[in-house]
Amino acid sequence: MKIIPVKYIADSSEYFERIKDIEGAVYLDSCSENSSYGRYDIISAAPIETIISKNNETSIITKEQTKTITGNPFAILQKQLNKYQFADSTESPFSGGAIGFFSYDLCRTTENIPSITQDDIHLPLMYIGIYTWALVTDHHRKETKLITHKTDSETEEILRKLTTEITTRQETFTATNINWNQNYKDYRQALSKIKNYITNGDCYQVNYSQRISVDFSGSSWALYKQLRKHNPAPYSAYLKTEYGDILSSSPEQFLSVKDSLVTTKPIKGTIKRSKNAYIDQQLANTLRNSQKNQAENLMIVDLLRNDIGKAAEIGSIKVEKLFDIESFEGLHHLVSTITAKLPPKTNAVQLLKACFPGGSITGAPKIRAMEIIEELEKYRRNIYCGTIGYIGFNGNMDTNIAIRTSVINNNKLYYNAGGGIVADSDIEEEFKEMHTKTYVFISQIKNRTNTTKK
């Protein structure tokens, strides 16, 4: 393994622009050098292996061959990671390994969830690249390093691409015909059914969402740059795949593993911010003290403690923070923090499988909530409410909850928004909150140009 210092640039997207058109380019983006929530940015491209799960089969693609096998995608991923034994002498969280996405609908491989919703986007259940180099930016230390397991000549070529200046040009996109898949009448009907299920004892909470679709043409990267500028979020990501481009502005961490320490930070509770500092603080206090939001948050904390307990050391699970406020551009969130420790023979992939999908975007009890989601939502969620992130050769992992995440596929952009429904939810207020969550995104897709480099 080689570790090569590279010039620190606070805006690491400048590096990504230089390699974004290489096959398998990935960008895990904390969006801000000063963020208290995000520290690292990770950039890579040209995976030595791509693992794609679709239709009960998983394809393992290399330059030499494509091999298709059956079996659980999580187990297949771990088997492929086990093939690569690289020495790791760096403090970096990622020095090579798996980067990609796990669609929400991967839950069908671990739970007996019925197939009712329409699958009109056809994303893979799992799309993972195995990467043997990464450009890692540490914003706390103001350092950028190229970490590589490549040959000397391959490393020189990567460095050349990363450090060669490229010309500035203006890239544009066009987004028109924004359509919600439900009107208020349909939404009210669905939420009434959920509240009936809660009254009858089927569940305590259901995370219900709806989707917008937009006619899209032009540069997805230009749109992503708009989003990271106006809606920076610490678990953002940009991935280019043959199935479409994935743009995530997620504020929510799903699962992190660092030296066997597990952390998860579920979000339940959101309120729009004000530009007036006094009013903004009042809004944050309103969210913090909301009994409804506290009840929702606590349900998910209990659910995640149970999920993590399937893989963690007995007695190691702790709730470090309960009902904390984290503030982002445009929104305050109610966040709790849970930690645990993995036993020596349990790896990050096993933890991910035990907890997937994240409880903050399903409801409780988890399986029944997922069945109700399948009954009432019109379309498969695909990447929405799945997860994006990395699992390193060194056993470390960091993943997001793929909310505020869009897919651009065949000149269409798809974006979901939702919220947790409980017994005392006010249907009209839930409808308003869902539209609040999409406000920043919709405002940015109307802003059609961005200066980028080529």
- pLDDT for the residue numbered 33: 73
Give first-to-last CA distance, the chain, whole Å.
30
Domain count of the fold of the chain: 1
385-394 pLDDT, tens digit each = 999 999 999 9
349/75 Cα distance (integer angstroms): 8
- pLDDT for the residue numbered 444: 83
* Domain CATH code at residue 267: 3.60.120.10
- pLDDT for the residue numbered 133: 97
Residue with tokens 């911010």: 273
307-357 pLDDT, tens digit each = 999 999 999 999 999 999 998 877 899 999 999 999 999 999 999 999 999
**Mean pLDDT of the region 206-221:** 95
- pLDDT for the residue numbered 445: 87
Mean pLDDT score of the chain, rounded to an integer? Answer: 93
Model pTM score: 0.94
C-alpha pair distances (Å), 369 with each of 175, 187, 278, 297, 355: 34, 17, 38, 15, 15
188-207 pLDDT, tens digit each = 999 999 999 999 999 999 99
- pLDDT for the residue numbered 169: 75
Residues with catalytic roles: 252, 268
Name the residue with higher pLDDT: 283 or 167.
Answer: 283
Name the residue with higher pLDDT: 136 or 111.
Answer: 136
Give the confidence band of 166 by pLDDT, cuts at 50, 70, 90.
Answer: confident
366-379 pLDDT, tens digit each = 999 999 999 999 99
- pLDDT for the residue numbered 35: 64
260/396 Cα distance (integer angstroms): 8
220/78 Cα distance (integer angstroms): 31
7-36 pLDDT, tens digit each = 999 999 999 999 999 999 999 999 977 666
- pLDDT for the residue numbered 210: 93
What is the residue type of 316?
S
- The per-residue b/e assignment along 90-116, b for 16 or more CB within 10 angstroms, e otherwise, is eebbbbbbbbbbbbbbbbbbeeeeeee
* CB distance 252 to 403 below 8 Å: yes
**Domain region containing 64:** 2-453
